[in-house]
Amino acid sequence: MLDIQFIRDNPDKVKNAAKNKGLNSNVVDEVLRFDQQRRDLITQVEQIRAERNLINNKLKQSQVEELKQKSVELKQKLQDLEPQLRETEKSFNDLMLQVPNVPADGVPVGKDESGNKKIREDGQKPKFDFKPKDHIQLGLDLDILDLDRGSKVAGYRGYFLKNQAVQMHFGVMRYALDKIVSKGFTPIVPPIVNKREAFINSGLFPWGETEAYKTFDNQEESDLKFLAGTSEVPLVSYHAGELFNEKDLPILYAGYSPCYRREIGSYGRDTRGIYRIHEFLKIEQVVLCKNDMEESIKWHEKLAQYAEEILQELGLHYRVMLMCTGDMGEPQIKKYDIETWMPGRGEYGETMSDSIMGEFQSRRANIKYRTKDNNQFVHTLNNTALASPRILIALWETYQQKDGSITIPPILRPYVGFDSIKSKNGK
């Protein structure tokens, strides 16, 4: 959520941000209209209350009939105005949740992924002296992936991981968790069935509500909860309503959790295999730091560095992309996607996502820290350290051998317990 004073002072800037993110910029005009209406009503209500308090104080000394009548009239005015104020404040607050964050200077303006800008790349694309397979064929031939039965049991985008794929799935995640913990992050397994407030606090709602799975307790709307598509959702709300001392910052978390996404907006895209699926495991880093953009930028680069170290140690080729306004999401100020080369796809696929949120989330969640002069909202950042099974696509396809086997990168061997995956019949 943006500061209303910022919106008042910079309406055109906020409108352009909404427009460049593909949203209706009219919401800014509506916010300002209800803001003015709200302020006018607050002024009226406060004036009436002050006048009534003055009269009531006089009535304590002298029960003058004229004063009694005036007090009754003022009470009636309050009863008329206060519901209007509550309704106006609700409309104002709902609209404020629909105003996106403002991109940082230097973020390219674009409608979609075609507007993203490559920052750097690292590693070598694998070269094969044979016709390489994609991860689907590798999974079937090695009996480590079953999509047909996955679809039969779970429906669209369902899958079964089997045999050594299961050990790789958990092994690569454990390796990444150890890596991130060594960087000073506190590991957390958070709840993934969350209240609506947690999704609002993180900025996922209202925009992303159609992407979330819903669940009811006792079939009551008031008991509605949602399955989180990232542990960023519960981790942002972990300290909701709390006040820190400046010396407590930065606070670093690594959330390890299953994630659930409906993928409503991606029908027709990546329909084969395990690239775009409904459920997966993910390690999400969340940083709470001082309200200082220079510090946030430093953390943004650190998070990218940690993610790149993982891919470098895994021996995978990747590139870092600066996301344009139309492909970065509503809450972000600046965002990198780290895309890993997947030979079977013949293209890069997103494996990490690193974002600066500024105080957009902390205003929603009311997370502050004390300074010498006042209390300020923290800045938040988040990054996907690793997600599986998507990363398995790059690993299987990059490390496939001519005999159909898959070699395990050295860094992972202690975590999975074997050096390669071979066909059971030796072919």
Tens digits of residue pLDDT in 334-351: 999 999 999 999 999 999
Give the residue, 71 or 130, on which the prediction is more confident: 130
176 and 300 belong to one structural domain: yes
350 is catalytic: yes
- 126: preceding bond cis by omega (within 30 degrees): no
* 49 has catalytic annotation: no
Strand 368-370 and strand 347-358: pairing? unpaired
Residue 11 has pLDDT above 80, yes or no: yes
142 and 57 share one domain: no
Q: Are residues 225 and 352 in the same domain?
A: yes
- Least confident stretch, 1-15, 56-70, 207-221, 374-388: 56-70
Cα dihedral value 132, 133, 135, 136, nearest 10: 170
> What is the DSSP-derived secondary structure letter of residue 331?
S
pLDDT at residue 219, as a whole number: 66
Comparing 198-202, 217-221, 256-260, which segment has the lowest mean pLDDT? 217-221
Per the model's pLDDT, the better-predicted residue between 63 and 56 turns out to be 56
| Mean pLDDT value across residues 229-246 | 98
Distance, C-alpha 275 to centroid of its chain: 19
CA atoms within 13 A on the CB side of 316: 32
CATH of the domain at 72: 1.10.287.40
Range of the domain at 338: 113-421
**Furthest CA-CA distance within the chain:** 104
* 52 plus 140 within the same structural domain: no
**Structure tokens belonging to residue 191:** 């709840």
H/E run at residue 209: none
Q: How confident is the model at residue 282 (pLDDT cuts 50, 70, 90)?
A: very high
Q: In a 10 Å sphere around its CB, with 0-12 CB exposed, 13-18 middle and 19+ buried, how is residue 182 labelled?
A: exposed
Do 185 and 193 contact (CB within 8 A), yes or no?
no
Q: Per the omega criterion (within 30 degrees of 0), is the bond before 103 cis?
A: no
249 in any annotated domain: yes
pLDDT value at 267 more than 60? no
DSSP H helices, 100-204, are 135-141, 147-154, 164-181, 196-202
CA quadruple 200, 204, 205, 211: dihedral sign: negative
Are residues 86 and 150 both part of a single domain?
A: no
pLDDT at 61: 63
Q: Is 107 inside a domain boundary? A: no
Total structural domains within the chain? 2
- Where is average pLDDT lowest: 52-56, 91-95, 111-115, 343-347? 52-56
At 181 the pLDDT is 98
Whole-number pLDDT of residue 265: 61
Residue that is last in its domain, among 40, 70, 96: 96
Residue 175: closest CA among 417, 422, 421: 417
Please tell me the distance from the alpha carbon of residue 212 to that of residue 177, in angstroms, as a whole number: 25
Q: Which of 239, 277, 276, 233 is nearest to 255 (CA)?
A: 233
- Identify whether residues 277 and 413 lie together within a single domain: yes
Residues for the chain: how many in total? 427
Answer whether residue 311 shows pLDDT above 80: yes
- Domain assignment of residue 427, yes or no: no
Of 25, 257, 353, 405, catalytic: 353
Question: Is 353 in the active site?
Answer: yes
**In the numeric block, which tokens belong to residue 218?**
């006792």
> Of residues 38, 52, 276, 364, which has the active-site annotation?
276
CATH number of the domain to which 220 belongs: 3.30.930.10
Q: Kindly state the average pLDDT of the residues 183-208.
A: 97
Query: What is the DSSP-derived secondary structure letter of residue 400?
Result: B
Per-residue confidence (pLDDT) for residue 73, from 0 to 100: 87
Q: Please give the Cα distance from 367 to 378 (Å, whole number).
A: 6
Annotation marks residue 390 as catalytic: yes
In this structure, are 76 and 159 located in the same domain? no
DSSP string, 79-90: HHHHHHHHHHHH
Three-class SS state of 257 = strand
List the catalytic residue out of 345, 350, 370, 413: 350
Q: Please provide the average confidence, as pLDDT, over all residues in the chain.
A: 94
Exposure of 309 in the CB half-sphere (CA atoms within 13 A): 15
Q: Residue 427's pLDDT is what?
A: 46
Residue 426 has pLDDT above 60, yes or no: no
Q: Which of 168-182, 198-212, 265-279 has the lowest mean pLDDT?
A: 265-279
pTM: 0.92
Q: What tens digit of pLDDT does each residue of 141-158 get? A: 999 999 999 999 999 899
Q: What is the mean pLDDT of residues 171-196?
A: 97
- Residue 102 resides in a domain: no
261 is catalytic: yes
Distance CA 411, CA 419 (A): 10
Residues 379, 313 share a domain: yes
